[in-house]
Amino acid sequence: MPNSSTSILIIYTGGTIGMKENPETGALAPFNFDQILNEVPELRKFGFNIDTISFNPLVDSSDITPEFWIELAKIIQEGYYKYNGFVILHGTDTMSYSASALSFMLKNLHKPVVFTGSQLPIGKLRTDGKDNLISAIEIAAATSNGQSLVPEVTVFFENQLFRGNRTTKYNSEHFNAFRSNSYPALAQAGISIKYNYTHIGYPTQHHDFTISTHFSNNVAVLTLFPGITPAIVDSVLSTPDVKAVILHSYGSGNGPSSEWFIERIKNAVDKGILIFNVTQCKAGGVNMSKYDNGLLLKKVGVIGGKDITFEAAVVKLMFLVGKNLTFVELKKQVQESISGEISN
Ligand code: ASP
């Protein structure tokens, strides 16, 4: 149970949630988040300390870059021992990417980091932002015997708490914008918040909290579609300095069996480019041994992404390539879970 000494930090980065109608123009504009207690007076009822910090400038999340993730991680590092939990208000468009990034960057995390946002601005009558914010704060503050109930990087949206690196933005209009198709929800908010303890990741070691801040942009995505041409494949695989490519494949990790295609993939692997097979399907995963077409990819050295989401896969490649690993080590680590983003 939280008590009066509980302290939560809300980090407002931008996005729809923090907008309010300008009474003169009728247009939506970000409001001064220091005034959040005036906008959402219900927050006073928590009876504990809530601090806020706002990014300057505020960003539409489609402008987010790795530098932004680093800034976020540093804010959490600075406040790590002062606060019991963190709530990050973030645009929904790239929330799954940012939650994945933070889940990889924050090492030995023992406190909740809850991302949320909204489909309607907090200043609108029918906003989903208030409920999302209030529940996210409650989750960030929730403890039992002094231990945080959800010491993970998560996404809370429309009654459900998900592991952040398992989420995907699924709907651009409905309030339930996110899904986690390959991992169960960590909590459901109804009359009370019911936690799914068996699926929450609890730290097994007690090392000090640190952050890892190296990302590389030398990754690319090759999305397959019927009729893809050698020129398109070449343009991706011969991107200067590219070190890792997501092969955004069909079904359980299949692609064309044509000689020209397999040969190009093989040449890329032989040059030391990691080819990471991630399915275009929204659920299930990659199993390259299921069909002959998948097996051809496996035989030339493509690595299967199992049930990882596209968003987590992109960020994971950026994160691991940023570590300057050897090719052998990169291939090994990409298949292992860093923070529960991929099943063993
Ligand atoms: N474009 C906005 C953003 O991602 C949408 C939102 O806030 O949900 O920042």
| CATH number of the domain encompassing residue 11 | 3.40.50.1170
- The pick from 60, 115, 171, 174 for probing ligand 1's pocket by mutation, whose C-beta has the most ligand atoms within 8 angstroms, reads 60
List CB contacts of 285: < 8 A, sequence separation 6 or more: 182, 252, 253, 279, 305, 306, 307, 308, 343
Q: Judge if the upstream peptide bond of residue 2 is cis by omega within 30 degrees of 0.
A: no
Amino acid sitting at position 207: H
Same domain, 196 and 268: no
Which pLDDT score, from 0 to 100, does residue 19 have? 80
List the domain range (segments joined by +) for residue 299. Answer: 219-334
Residue nearest to atom 1 of ligand 1 (CA): 60
Which pLDDT score, from 0 to 100, does residue 193 have? 97
Which pLDDT score, from 0 to 100, does residue 37 have? 75
Assigned domain for 315 exists: yes
Ligand 1 site, residue 63, Cβ cutoff 6 A: no
Same domain, 198 and 80: yes
Same domain, 195 and 225: no
Question: For residue 93, how far is its CA from the centre of ligand 1 (angstroms)?
Answer: 5
Assigned domain for 137 exists: yes
Q: How far apart, in whole angstroms, are the C-alpha atoms of residue 143 and residue 87?
A: 15
- The pick from 93, 94, 119 for probing ligand 1's pocket by mutation, whose C-beta has the most ligand atoms within 8 angstroms, reads 93
Assigned domain for 343 exists: no
Can you name the residues that pair with 194 across neighbouring β-strands?
188
Residue nearest to atom 3 of ligand 1 (CA): 91
Is 16 designated active site? yes
Ligand 1 site, residue 135, Cβ cutoff 6 A: no
Which pLDDT score, from 0 to 100, does residue 235 have? 98
Ligand 1 site, residue 15, Cβ cutoff 6 A: yes
Ligand 1 site, residue 132, Cβ cutoff 6 A: no
Same domain, 44 and 146: yes
Give the domain-ending residue among 179, 211, 243: 211
E strand or H helix at 105: helix 95-105
Least Cα distance to 102 among 2, 194, 15, 209 occurs for: 209
Pairing of strands 160-163, 187-189: antiparallel
Which pLDDT score, from 0 to 100, does residue 1 have? 66
Positive or negative: CA dihedral 171, 172, 178, 180: positive
Q: How far apart, in whole angstroms, are the C-alpha atoms of residue 265 and residue 251?
A: 18
| pTM (2 d.p.) | 0.96
Assigned domain for 28 exists: yes
Same domain, 24 and 160: yes
Give the domain-ending residue among 192, 211, 230: 211
Same domain, 183 and 246: no
Catalytic residue among 16, 92, 154, 168: 16
Residue nearest to atom 4 of ligand 1 (CA): 91
Q: Which atom of ligand 1 is nearest to the CA of 60?
A: 9
Same domain, 177 and 279: no
Question: For residue 60, how far is its CA from the centre of ligand 1 (angstroms)?
Answer: 6
Within a 10 A sphere around the Cβ of 227, how many other Cβ atoms?
A: 7
Assigned domain for 179 exists: yes
Ligand 1 site, residue 116, Cβ cutoff 6 A: no
Q: How far apart, in whole angstroms, are the C-alpha atoms of residue 274 and residue 331?
A: 7
Ligand 1 site, residue 93, Cβ cutoff 6 A: yes
Ligand 1 site, residue 16, Cβ cutoff 6 A: yes
Same domain, 35 and 166: yes
Query: Along the chain (344 residues), what's the average pLDDT of each consecutive run of 10 residues?
Result: 86 88 77 77 91 90 96 98 97 97 97 95 88 96 95 97 97 92 96 96 91 98 98 98 98 98 98 98 95 97 98 98 97 98 93
Q: How far apart, in whole angstroms, are the C-alpha atoms of residue 171 and residue 168?
A: 9
Give the domain-ending residue among 188, 211, 234: 211
| φ and ψ of 335, to 5 deg | -90, -15
Same domain, 250 and 140: no
Same domain, 70 and 51: yes
Same domain, 192 and 231: no
**Overall domain count for the chain:** 2
Q: What CATH number is given to the structural domain containing 294?
A: 3.40.50.40
Ligand 1 site, residue 18, Cβ cutoff 6 A: no
Amino acid sitting at position 3: N
Same domain, 59 and 176: yes
